[in-house]
Structure 1
Amino acid sequence: MTAPRDDTPSDDTEAARAREAARRRRLAEVFGDVLPDDTSDSPRPTARDEDWYRENRPPHHGG
């Protein structure tokens, strides 16, 4: 016989999430957002880039 499954997070899980959130807040306070996920000069893929990729993809990569 198996015990009923409890899908609610345990106190340990909630405490671990709270500690992780606090750690991330402290790091953000000290270091800030060092590098944004995307910068204004990041290249933006275009349809032409996708075409070039498909035309120049090595045969051993399939497709």
Structure 2
Amino acid sequence: MSEQAPEEDAHRRELARRRRLAEVFGDVLPEATSDDFPEPAAGAGERWYTENRPPHHDAG
């Protein structure tokens, strides 16, 4: 059995883990999720909904 560098061993384990996940879930898992990015500015989402509200939702 050959001795491998810890980095190579970790890399092989990560590749095997991704291969197992792909077998189970397919390629639907993203590389990055929203948790990996900073939070949007406060009120940005609410402003978008207000600007894009359909006319039949306007308060009369």
Instruction: Name the TM tier (shorter chain).
Output: 0.3 to 0.5
The TM-score normalised by the length of structure 1 is 0.38
The TM-score normalised by the length of structure 2 is 0.39
